[in-house]
Structure 1
Amino acid sequence: MGYLKSTPDAQGFFGDYGGAELPPPLVPHFKEITEAYERLAHSAEFIRDLRYIRKHFQGRPTPVSYLRNLSDMCGGAQIYAKREDLNHTGAHKLNHCMAEALLAKFMGKTKLMAETGAGQHGVALATAAAYFGLECEIHMGEIDIAKEAPNVTRMKLLGAEVVPVGFGGRSLKEAVDSCFQSYVAQADTALFAIGSVVGPHPFPRMVRDFQHVVGIEAREQFLEMTGQLPDMVAACVGGGSNAMGIFAGFIDDEDVSLHGVEPMGTSSKLGDHAATITYGKDGMIHGFRTMVLEDENGDPAPVHTIASGLDYPGVGPEHAHLYRTGRVNYSAADDKEALDAFYKLSRHEGIIPALESSHAVAFAMREAKANPGKSILINLSGRGDKDIDYVTETFGFGES
């Protein structure tokens, strides 16, 4: 049996990580979601509708691009990118949001709820809600609202209610906390469409499965382009949905090394980064067991990264499992490396990447030099429209 069919187990555990520890009022609602997903995942009608949406609304498949100029500039390995920036709404997030909205519709729900960091998940869910005629409530930290103003505007134009979160670190973790609190009172009529491969079971599995389309497409496209599989596949990791999406396509290919790239922020000091696997330890967060960055009191620690979509003090449980088993290699890129990659890809390839995706670009630029004759496929998980005001106002336009 292949990895994806055998993992997670029936309780949602990836080895030692995952599961669901919920307040009693939410237990029946998550059971309902699990049962609905198990039923619909193998439903010809659900699969037909999802395929139609992906092709005729999202614009899938997205292409794989050979980054010739960047490859020549770096020297060594040849760099390719899976272009999720060309997916409708500008990132991979719509892959699971349209599927979660379709699931909600099948379940008879009338509202979608979610947290968002960089705003891409919020935009994608607001888009899905508009498509299916559902209400939408998005919780977003005040820091991220200030950094990602274009996405806040997009969410409001799409009809979503954006709830500012002003307590604690005023970022992604607090947005999750706030949304869970609001969801408890609305669970009968709403679906909490978690935005990554995090949260209680079944969401880590469900979001991975919905994002698997990225890996399926990328594997087929790379083989068609080059006649072989890539030597390395890399993606940025915060919660980790874009990474699990592309990793899932290659997880059973032992000759393909998989690489998750975490945000190192400004230093290795706690509070200056969000590199959970690099510096975290086993713990609990938001109802599931995984690796967590903790402060001296054992609480989730404050985090920092230039990329709002990666500023989470935990990580998807499947990533913790793949790290422990050694199937995926995890490293980090700091803010300076990500910013340099942002400018380099923009200037030399005509592609403005999201700051989140720029961490994967930075990894490829770094590793290319050390791997002549090899190929590196990165998941370019989103485009940088949302980041250009923040980057140019804070850091300028880069070197000419």
Structure 2
Amino acid sequence: MSEEKKEDAHLDNSSALATSLPHPDGFFGADKTYGGAFVPPPLEPIMKNVAEEYEKAKIDPQFLADLANLRKTYIGRPSPIYHCQNLSKKLGGAQIYLKREDLNHTGSHKINHCLGEALLARQMGKTKLIAETGAGQHGVALATAAALMQMECEIHMGEIDIKKEWPNVRRMQILGAKVVPATHGGKSLKEAVDSAFQAYMGDPEHMLFAIGSTVGPHPFPMMVRDFQAIVGFEAKEQFQEIAGPGKAPDILLACVGGGCNSLGLFTAFLDDPNVKLIGVEPAGHGLDKGEGHHSATLTLGKPAVLHGMKCYTLLNSQGDPASVHSCASGLDYPGVGPEHSFLKDAARVQYETATDEEVIDAFFELSRSEGIIPALESAHALAYAMKIAKDMPEDKKLLVNMSGRGDKDLDYVCDLHGDQYGIGKEGIFAGPTKHSK
């Protein structure tokens, strides 16, 4: 196969689009425990129509060609793999590599599925895109795709997250999107999803709810995963150029909130038993602190129905979705994608956690060791990679999905943790710290 044809193959991503999971009814696993489409009766035909149109689109040569072209010329794919030589040397163990999704247009992996969803919406004759967002990266990416397709866009975002991620709010507004605050309950990602679903119910004929992760009713967990799987298929090919034919990373690591960046990296490697897969959830202030102090859904949750799907869910004593916390707004969610729930029970993916303190430390460590400022979401995976790498042989290779860049998190991190890392109240260097040279 020529180099040009090889490139076209992974841009087309046909292997991911042909994956056998989930079952036609949207459930994952032989016993169909997770997934499905638990929606009000008026939405049942709408979801069925989206599923049918997506099944047509993913085998439509023109749709695939349009998507491949935008991946190459608009997103800037393929994203590179970078070897963190300074960080690896400092840790003194395994070699840490990054899949640089932070270099994509809009600064994260979210643009991968947003362009796919926007193309599908256009093909279906929709005139408006509506969605939720946590950290704002999905909102920015969807607003970007809507501008490109010349469609209306409405983004629902928790009031707390609006204040925390204000630069992304401005980006959405500049791109022409309407940002709607979710002011009820915890005022974060769950409430943003609730708010967006309610608005979508008002006019599903003319809108597409472009869900921002591998969550929600079928077909969205499947569809978002398929669009994101380009990350892993690229990485599989790229790593052979780094390590040799047939070689793969020893361990893949990615953060898990809803779960799209992790499934984006993991999907291409699911059938390779020699590659260990680790998803990293937010331990927040600590798992022992109880409700409202973490977002470790797969670690401490139970199966329940949430936002149109059955998945692991953090529940309070009344059996309702629990209050959650993470320093990363994009992971601040009491549920998780149904495929992750299935992969946990199947023991194919190992799920671990990182505390806010470990995440902030990883945020500064990568920034000052490699000149790469990570998103707080991505820093969860990096934090766990740093923890295990130092005790592993130097010939082992860890690949972390650097799912987003940290521009959006700068004010939040510096305001709350700047003093500890030598950043004064006014942004002036305050003297030597444990990270100073």
Normalised by the length of structure 1, the TM-score is: 0.99
Partners of 2:405 and 2:127 in 1: CA distance: 30
Per the alignment, residue 198 of structure 2 pairs with 181
Per the alignment, residue 252 of structure 2 pairs with 233
Partners of 1:267 and 1:226 in 2: CA distance: 37
Asked if 1:321 is matched to 2:342, the reply is yes
Which residue type is aligned with residue 80 of structure 1?
Answer: Y
What is the deviation of 1:380?
A: 0.3
Per the alignment, residue 126 of structure 1 pairs with 143
Q: Structure 2 matches for 1:78-97, cutoff 5 A?
A: 78-97=95-114
Asked if 1:267 is matched to 2:286, the reply is yes
Asked if 1:8 is matched to 2:22, the reply is yes
Secondary structure at the aligned position of 2:224 is classed as: helix
Asked if 1:218 is matched to 2:235, the reply is yes
Partners of 1:216 and 1:344 in 2: CA distance: 28
What is the deviation of 1:95?
A: 0.1
Partners of 2:84 and 2:268 in 1: CA distance: 21
Per the alignment, residue 354 of structure 1 pairs with 375
What is the deviation of 1:42?
A: 0.5
What is the deviation of 1:7?
A: 1.2
Which residue type is aligned with residue 11 of structure 1?
Answer: D
Secondary structure at the aligned position of 2:97 is classed as: strand
Per the alignment, residue 365 of structure 1 pairs with 386
Which residue type is aligned with residue 401 of structure 2?
Answer: N
Runs of 4+ with >6 A deviation: none
Partners of 1:314 and 1:248 in 2: CA distance: 20
Q: Structure 2 matches for 1:25-104, cutoff 5 A?
A: 25-104=42-121
Asked if 1:375 is matched to 2:397, the reply is yes
Per the alignment, residue 266 of structure 2 pairs with 247
What is the deviation of 1:370?
A: 2.1
Secondary structure at the aligned position of 2:377 is classed as: helix
Which residue type is aligned with residue 382 of structure 1?
Answer: G
Per the alignment, residue 336 of structure 1 pairs with 357
Normalised by the length of structure 2, the TM-score is: 0.90
Give 5+ residue unaligned stretches, structure 1.
Answer: none
Per the alignment, residue 142 of structure 1 pairs with 159
Per the alignment, residue 429 of structure 2 pairs with none
Partners of 1:237 and 1:219 in 2: CA distance: 20
Partners of 1:47 and 1:320 in 2: CA distance: 29
Secondary structure at the aligned position of 2:59 is classed as: coil
Give RMSD over aligned pairs.
1.0
Per the alignment, residue 386 of structure 1 pairs with 408
What is the deviation of 1:226?
A: 1.1
Partners of 1:11 and 1:27 in 2: CA distance: 12
Asked if 1:153 is matched to 2:170, the reply is yes
Residue range with higher mean Cα deviation, 203-212 or 263-272 = 263-272
What is the deviation of 1:267?
A: 1.6
Partners of 2:334 and 2:25 in 1: CA distance: 24
Per the alignment, residue 3 of structure 2 pairs with none
Secondary structure at the aligned position of 2:268 is classed as: coil
Larger radius of gyration: 2
Give 5+ residue unaligned stretches, structure 2.
Answer: 1-14, 422-434
Partners of 1:143 and 1:69 in 2: CA distance: 36
Secondary structure at the aligned position of 2:44 is classed as: helix
Partners of 1:65 and 1:17 in 2: CA distance: 35
